[in-house]
Amino acid sequence: KNRGRLLISCLDQPGIISKISKFLFSHGANIIESNQYSINPHGGDFFIRIDFEAPDLIDKKETLMEDFQPIAETFSMTWELHLVSELKRMAIFASKDLNCLRELLWQWQNGDLMAEIPLVVSNHETARPLVEQLGIPFYYLPASKENRTEVEKKQLQLMSEYDIDVIVLARYMQILTPHFVASHPMKIINIHHSFLPAFVGARPYERAYQRGVKLIGATSHYVTNDLDEGPIIEQDTVRVDHRFDVDELKKMGGNIERNVLARAVKWHLQDRIIVHGNKTIVF
């Protein structure tokens, strides 16, 4: 397709949209959907996502980017241009609980997640049949606190070899080192099995059970070096009652986890998310 997406953030000032839209028009692009938001019109931050169509976009991409550079510099923009036809390359990291992995692969098969999945990495063999049956390479790299540095070296090598754009932690359950995180800033998406900031850290369902909450939730966020503190992309909750024990909370929660993660991944793949400080703008 000839569709592209422009994501921009900068300090707000008059005339930005006028400049951008004139630029797109003069390059033959027609805007299909655009969403813009400013935190504070007087010197606050400005964010825009533009979904557009232009003939021969693939050939024109380089020219467009060169021509946009001066505008970007004028307004000190942070910006990205993505082509819908250039699928993102997504690695999935999994562990023993296949709930989230399965949902992602399923939606991917259905054509709901527009990405390439060049590999799945896991510290357990559990997912191998599920993954290989779809023709996706599966890498078993047993990870633990002890061998973390060594394993991450191999993982980073794989990410580089397969030219990975985005890493999804589908209940991977291992903590990543700052070195790993720094290698893919705001490109690693995690699912935490609680409604953050409630129950940060380990065993959230057990703690939810102890606390006697009436709703349980899940949170998908970008990974930073602060555990469970990265920018939140999506959250959801579901009603439970006194009859649910920890196992039933987990089952109920698993359903929320996979839906929340799949939505967050889809929005990332559709270039709907702009990270701003420790928050996300989701257009």
280 binds its own copies (CB under 8 A): yes
Say which amino acid occupies 259. Answer: N
**Which of 136, 84, 156, 87 lies closest to 116 in space, CA to CA?**
87
CA–CA distance, 68 with 278 (Å, rounded to integer) = 27
**Could you tell me if 223 and 169 are in contact, meaning their C-beta atoms sit under 8 angstroms apart?**
yes
Q: How far is the CB of 9 from its own copies (least distance, A)?
A: 12
Cis peptide before 197 (omega within 30 of 0): yes
State which of residues 217, 224, 244, 261 lies at the interface with its own copies (CB under 8 A). 217
Q: Which of 228, 236, 245, 247 is catalytic?
A: 228
55 binds its own copies (CB under 8 A): no
Nearest 5 degrees, angle CA 278-CA 280-CA 283? 170
| Pairing status of strand 166-169 against strand 88-94 | parallel
Site string for its own copies, 3-42 (x = CB under 8 A): ---------xxxxxxx--xx-xx--xxxxxxxxxxx--x-
Of the pair 32, 182, the CB lying nearest its own copies is at: 32
Say which amino acid occupies 75. Answer: F
State which of residues 5, 167, 190, 231 lies at the interface with its own copies (CB under 8 A). 231
Of the pair 179, 214, the CB lying nearest its own copies is at: 214
Using DSSP, state whether 203 is helix, strand or coil: coil
Q: How far is the CB of 184 from its own copies (least distance, A)?
A: 20
Of the pair 145, 243, the CB lying nearest its own copies is at: 243
Of the pair 53, 116, the CB lying nearest its own copies is at: 53
Number of residues in contact with its own copies under rule CB under 8 A: 59
Terminal-residue alpha carbon distance, the chain: 21
228 is catalytic: yes
**Could you tell me if 155 and 121 are in contact, meaning their C-beta atoms sit under 8 angstroms apart?**
yes
Using DSSP, state whether 245 is helix, strand or coil: coil
Residues 6+ apart with CB under 8 A from 45: 9, 10, 11, 12, 38, 39, 276
Give residues 150-209 in contact with its own copies (rule: CB under 8 A): 195-199
State which of residues 135, 178, 202, 211 lies at the interface with its own copies (CB under 8 A). 211
Q: Give the range of 81-89, 169-177, 184-192, 232-240 binding its own copies by CB under 8 A.
A: 232-240
Chain residues binding its own copies by CB under 8 A are: 12-18, 21-22, 24-25, 28-38, 41, 53, 99, 102, 106, 110, 112, 195-199, 210-215, 217, 231-237, 241-243, 251, 255, 259, 278-282
